[in-house]
């Protein structure tokens, strides 16, 4: 019995399944959670999705009514976690990634836990695990689970739509080097199952608000700094600046990728102030410019080589100066800087 068959056996034997994902929900955590939920339901079992916090509004065109949120309904999430006899841990490889409140609940449970994830250096906290750093996304691994257990015929538009979303968002619309031939094979299976990819792109991208565009315009015109010696772009936003433009969760998510689109840019760093903490997003291009090491070494973070996150308890200005001091240690100086 291979690992996928073992996971199927666990699902079929369980009476109360809970699906969890990491804090600061994104397309892959939402997509893989819902895709797995609908697959489990097709197997004739029931499950509940418990997430730490709300996803950005532009992801809520999905059928997310079944997701319980720790930040909104801690009593219900606590009850579900305590009743669980099987917990799925999707798109994270360390219990701390679910946030302190859910981490306590997760670590207190004695039931079997199944980790399905694609991040580097997983912690040893699960009973069974599929850890594939070469996979484009956790959503892709859910398709692998269906295929390896002989249930690909159950794949339909309802299951496939959130899984397509997960792959789409975690690959930067298929432009990251995490995209492999297998990724496109999986996408073909999703399309064959009835997924309407063009509608997903529209619902994901054509959702801008006036305030979001004004915030992004302000960030690009007034806050962008380029360290030309190393071809690294940085934007820092204070809580006052965010409030001025009526910031909503997700409004700055695309900024780092926009900075990376500048000709010659090797890396982009965007951070914003929230509750006295600087939330930092790191993005880069190429195997020679990893950002996860910088995030892990100095900002209590980590992630993929070219897409990572971190945090700082320094002020906006202090965090910015710290980054500027560290950049030369992690990015080679350019012989001829871009213009």
Give the Cβ contact number of residue 69 at 10 Å.
18
Q: 311 in the Ramachandran plot: left (φ > 0), alpha (ψ -120 to 50) or beta?
A: beta
Q: What is the pLDDT of residues 208-267, one digit of tens each?
A: 899 999 999 999 999 999 999 999 999 999 999 999 999 998 899 889 999 999 999 999
The whole-number pLDDT of residue 175 equals 84
Q: 250 in the Ramachandran plot: left (φ > 0), alpha (ψ -120 to 50) or beta?
A: left
Q: What is the pLDDT of residues 26-70, one digit of tens each?
A: 999 999 999 999 999 999 999 999 999 998 878 878 877 789 999
The whole-number pLDDT of residue 156 equals 98
- Given this structure, which CATH class describes domain 210-330? alpha beta
Alpha helices in 133-238 (DSSP H): 138-148, 157-170, 181-192, 197-205, 210-218
**CB-CB contact of 304 with 284 (8 Å):** no
pLDDT band for 126, please (50, 70, 90 cuts).
very high
Q: What is the pLDDT of residues 160-193, one digit of tens each?
A: 999 999 999 999 889 888 899 999 999 999 999 9
Q: What is the pLDDT of residues 276-315, one digit of tens each?
A: 899 999 999 988 899 999 999 999 988 888 889 999 999 9
Mean pLDDT computed over every residue of the chain: 94
> Mean pLDDT over residues 320-333, rounded?
93
Q: What is the third-level CATH fold of 3-205?
A: inorganic pyrophosphatase (n-terminal core) (3.90.1640)
List the domain boundaries for the chain. Answer: 3-205, 210-330
What is this structure's pTM? 0.84
Distance separating the N- and C-terminal Cα atoms of the chain: 58
pLDDT band for 100, please (50, 70, 90 cuts).
very high
């Amino acid at each position: 019995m291979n690992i996928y068959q073992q996971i199927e056996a666990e699902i079929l034997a369980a009476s109360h399944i809970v699906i969890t994902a990491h804090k600061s929900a994104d397309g892959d955590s939402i997509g893989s959670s819902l895709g797995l939920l609908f697959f489990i339901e097709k197997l004739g079992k029931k499950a509940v999705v418990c997430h730490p916090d709300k996803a950005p509004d532009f992801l809520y065109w999905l059928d997310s009514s079944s997701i319980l949120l720790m930040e909104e309904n801690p009593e219900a999430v606590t009850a579900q976690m305590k009743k669980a006899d099987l917990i799925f841990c999707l798109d994270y490889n360390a219990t701390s990634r679910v946030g302190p409140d859910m981490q306590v609940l997760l670590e207190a449970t004695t039931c079997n836990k199944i980790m399905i994830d694609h991040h580097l250096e997983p912690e040893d906290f699960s009973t069974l695990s599929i850890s594939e750093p070469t996979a484009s996304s956790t959503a892709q691994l859910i398709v692998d689970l269906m295929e390896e257990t002989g249930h690909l015929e159950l794949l339909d538009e309802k299951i496939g739509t959130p899984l397509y979303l997960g792959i789409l968002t975690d690959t930067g619309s298929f432009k990251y080097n995490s995209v492999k031939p297998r990724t496109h094979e999986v996408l073909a299976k999703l399309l064959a199952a009835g997924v309407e990819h063009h509608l997903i792109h529209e619902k994901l991208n054509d959702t801008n608000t006036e305030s979001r565009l004004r915030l992004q315009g302000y960030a690009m015109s007034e806050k962008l700094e380029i360290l030309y010696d190393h071809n690294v772009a940085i934007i820092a936003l204070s809580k006052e600046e965010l409030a001025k433009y009526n910031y909503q969760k997700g409004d700055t998510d695309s900024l780092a990728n926009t900075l990376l689109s500048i000709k010659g840019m090797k890396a982009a760093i965007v951070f914003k102030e929230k509750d006295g903490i600087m939330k930092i997003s790191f993005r880069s291009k190429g195997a020679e410019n990893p950002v996860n090491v910088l995030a892990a070494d100095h900002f209590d973070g980590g992630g993929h080589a070219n897409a990572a996150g971190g945090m700082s308890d320094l002020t906006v200005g202090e965090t910015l100066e710290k980054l500027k001091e560290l950049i030369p240690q992690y990015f080679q100086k350019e012989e001829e800087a871009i213009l």
